Structure 1
């Protein structure tokens, strides 16, 4: 069965695109929510990075009284061990695979593609990146957790065992407890992944200082 491509916001570089960042938004947001960060990153003038900000499909979300909103998967409860609807996570993973393949078909190799995401989008980016069968340039997981809670996902692929993973989290996060991000980081480190952890004095959000650090990481990951 074919998968309908996700609608998205695409921000093209001034020069020919030679790499790509696919950035997934959080619950109830849209690709429009993060697209304005591109100029704020202050990347080198001719960076050649295409940014894609897809819109999650609209669906009912259990913890929000069943209201329909953009969501990468249903959130069933606040309990980390029973939070993510895995059927929805797997469906989103397939949709992200389509996005990645579109970039590969356009001439950008997998190892020049970064999967990034905030909150729920970070969950999907991390899950998808760990299982993806081709080497990616990097995985950026912001204020998120592993949908499999206290274990790594099944069928993690060796292709991304050496891929740089940057995890950021807010010390005052009252939406996704920092402990869940720390747990994911420990699991990754213990399994031999190249995961870097950075906490910031912030709630469930993104800071200018953090974006500066992310910019430096993207330059090091995609432009060197």
Structure 2
């Protein structure tokens, strides 16, 4: 899906991408410093891109996070596998799961089977960081558009409490029956949900439908609407995200 950071299109819905093997490319970059600050708590931010994008194309996002609290943050920008996408007439492109129609509305058809396979891969990435010694409550999952939808499902179905789940221009990619599968620990994970009110790719009403579902399940969700913003991420959103994560980082692992 089109991601218009700094008004520069990154991917078009109708572009056909070359076929690549079915696997997730896992780009993991550490920003661990030398010296006294290296004793501070470690944290991990996983960023999930939108339809047709790639992980490396989003790596510049981490340059907005300049506060000292992020000196021991590891960033990961994985790439989705390439597969046929129904809304693009079967064109092959990087996609976490299938999308049946564009624009995405609250009642659009859902590919739950494909979604759950992608969730398993995200959980494997989180497990790797927990095994390395990072406190799960210092792990933040963020995603734009299709990546935001995957962020929602992955965070809700993870068995531990995470630092937070952050959805940009996303939607609810599963039926409400899946809410009954949320583990107790996941219900303690806070969410930040941002959506442009001028979004014509993932309709604002599709994003707006998400937070009430979370609140009904007893999950804390902060919803921020951005008038005039289309299907993109603004600098204002990223600056707020930095503050939002910073206030939730635990002081020790």
Report what 2:59 is aligned to.
35
The 5 Å alignment of 1:120-159 reads 120-148=146-174, 153-159=179-185
SS at match of 1:36: helix
Does the 8 A contact of 2:32 with 2:74 survive in 1?
no
Counting matched residue pairs gives 221
Q: Between the two structures, name the one with larger relative contact order (CA 8 Å, sep ≥ 6).
A: 2
Bigger CA drift: 142-151 or 61-70?
A: 142-151
Q: For 1:100, what is the secondary structure of its paired residue? A: helix
Q: TM-score, normalised by structure 1?
A: 0.91
Deviation at 1:81, TM superposition (A): 3.1
Contact preservation (8 Å) 1:27, 1:72: yes
Deviation at 1:154, TM superposition (A): 4.2
Change beyond 3 A, Cα 1:47–1:223: farther
Measured after TM superposition, the shift of residue 25 of structure 1 is: 0.3
1:190 paired with 2:208, answer no
- Does residue 92 of structure 2 align to residue 68 of structure 1? yes
Task: State the 1:151 CA deviation.
Answer: 6.1
* Residue in structure 1 matching 2:230, options 190, 199, 203: 203
**Per-residue deviation, residues 124-170 of structure 1 (Å, max 9, x unmatched):** 11111111111111111111111125665340111021221000000
Equivalent in the alignment of 1:111: 137
- Structure 1 portions without partners, runs of 5+: none
Asked if structure 1 preserves the Cα contact closer than 8 Å seen for 2:165 and 2:190, the reply is yes
Q: Let me know the Cα RMSD of the aligned residues.
A: 2.0
CA distance in 2, matches of 1:220, 1:22: 18
4+ runs of 1 displaced by more than 4 Å? 149-152
CA distance in 2 between counterparts of 1:185 and 1:46 reads: 27
TM-score by length of 2: 0.81
Q: 1:214 to 1:130 in 2, by over 3 A?
A: same
Aligned-pair CA distance for 1:47: 2.6
